[in-house]
Structure 1
Amino acid sequence: MFTGIIAATGTIQHLQNNGSDVRLRVNVGKLDMSDVALGDSIATNGVCLTVVEFDQHHFSADVSSETIARSGFAHYTNGQGVNLEKAMLATSRFGGHIVSGHVDGVGEVKSIEDKGKAVEIWVTAPTDLARYIAEKGSVTVDGVSLTINEVNGAMFRLTLVPHTLQETIIGGYKPGSRVNLEVDVIARYLERLMLVDRAADTTKQTDISLAFLAENGYLNKG
């Protein structure tokens, strides 16, 4: 598990296509590797990757076809900057929100505007993820835990302070940049729990709707 608080930025040095998956090698920048062991997890642009080789300045990991299909890794090349976070310890401060490192989809940066020292960014999420995006809720963007300040359909607005812009790859975003998104895991489990006995029935519609909420007492039918 991760918190979405980025420890360092790194750079992809090598991508090796092995047919159905990819082996990548990452220069970790200032990330402290002194306590890393084989098999540890490092979130790389929000994707939980398992360390298969490492030294003081690098680590290698395999990226599965599932991860490639669901994340921006399909478009990454050598020199790609990445946000890095080691898996949290039980004794760590929980500074962000619950981040699993399982990317749900790829969003697109639509606009960037300076607001004083901060920057406002509008991002479009895939349509099937829009229902998990809530104003003042949390979202993970390339591994960074961020607060959603406004929602407009499948689009949402983020406000980035200078520290976040300096310490992550977000400072290099441009309109059209593709970003890994992980929605709040609590929202996903809440949706599943609200389906109750319908969750295992493949013959019924399983999407949460206003009618379903009203039927189960979550909305006033009147």
Structure 2
Amino acid sequence: MFTGLVTDVGEVVSVSGDDRLRRIRIRSAYDPATIALGASIACSGPCLTAVAVEGVAGGCEFSVDAAAETLALTTVGTWVAGTRVNLERSLKIGDELGGHLVTGHVDGRAEIVARESVTGGIGDPQWAPSDRFTLRAPGGLARFIAQKGSVCLDGTSLTVNTVAGNLFSVLLIPHTLAVTTWGRRRQGDSLNLEVDLIARYAARLTEAQPALAD
């Protein structure tokens, strides 16, 4: 489990393999002593398993394997050397749950359809503006997204501002834009989307009611 609070932005060093299985090597500022073989790491959303790790100057390089389903369903299949990825290590008992419960099981890819700057509005001319992103949810997932609810996009826990059909918006404050990959996101980019766990189960229970009544 994860929280959707990004703790480092890593960079893909190399990618090998094919559409059935790829090994991806990622450079990070994490202390290698904090990553055990077999550990789960959220890499821009998907929960991937560390299969190798070694210390390098300034941190470590760890490798993960991505199978066919992950490559097809998420943006992992598009990663190349130089791709920047949001990283989060798995939640430990006793850690602060500052975002929301995230499984690292990506449901699909959302597309950014617009990005606009939003003025601070607190009377301070030095206040940096935030950015509003409008995204299109893939078919079948829009019903899980609700205004004021939570979504995880590229491993980042965010609150939904507005919903209109299959379009929804999120607001990114300057700090989040600076410490994640969001600062470089543009119209047309695809992001890994994980809908809220509670919304998914609530919808499933609702769908099951007629069958249970029978």
Give the TM-score of the pair, scaled to structure 2.
0.89
Q: Does 1:105 pair with 2:108?
A: yes
Q: Which amino acid aligns with 1:12?
A: V
Given that residues 192 and 199 in structure 1 are in contact (C-alpha distance below 8 angstroms), is that contact kept between their aligned partners in structure 2? no
Q: Structure 2: how far apart are the matches of 1:195 and 1:140?
A: 23
State the identity as a percent: 41
Given that residues 107 and 178 in structure 1 are in contact (C-alpha distance below 8 angstroms), is that contact kept between their aligned partners in structure 2? yes
Of 138, 153, 159, the match for 1:147: 159
Q: Considering only aligned residues, what root-mean-square deviation do their CA atoms show, in Å?
A: 1.6
Given that residues 19 and 68 in structure 2 are in contact (C-alpha distance below 8 angstroms), is that contact kept between their aligned partners in structure 1? no
Give unmatched runs, 5+ long, in structure 1: 201-214, 216-222
Given that residues 31 and 84 in structure 1 are in contact (C-alpha distance below 8 angstroms), is that contact kept between their aligned partners in structure 2? no
Q: Structure 2: how far apart are the matches of 1:111 and 1:18?
A: 33
Given that residues 40 and 49 in structure 2 are in contact (C-alpha distance below 8 angstroms), is that contact kept between their aligned partners in structure 1? yes
Q: Does 1:93 pair with 2:96?
A: yes
> Which secondary structure does the structure 1 equivalent of 2:143 belong to?
helix
Given that residues 19 and 71 in structure 2 are in contact (C-alpha distance below 8 angstroms), is that contact kept between their aligned partners in structure 1? no
Q: Structure 2: how far apart are the matches of 1:175 and 1:63?
A: 26
Counterpart for residue 54 of structure 2: 55
Aligned residues: 200
> Which secondary structure does the structure 2 equivalent of 1:14 belong to?
strand
Give unmatched runs, 5+ long, in structure 2: 120-128
Describe how 1:5-20 pairs up with structure 2 within 5 A: 5-18=5-18, 20=20
Q: Structure 2: how far apart are the matches of 1:196 and 1:130?
A: 19
Q: Which has the higher strand share?
A: 2
Given that residues 144 and 203 in structure 2 are in contact (C-alpha distance below 8 angstroms), is that contact kept between their aligned partners in structure 1? no
Counterpart for residue 3 of structure 2: 3
Q: Which amino acid aligns with 2:70?
A: T
The Cα shift of 1:197 comes to 6.5
- 1:115-161 residue CA offsets vs partner (Å, 9 max, x unmatched): 12111110111021000010000000000000000011111111100
Q: Structure 1: how far apart are the matches of 2:32 and 2:118?
A: 36
Residues 66 and 199 of structure 1, relative CA distance in 2, 3 Å threshold: farther
Q: Which amino acid aligns with 1:95?
A: G
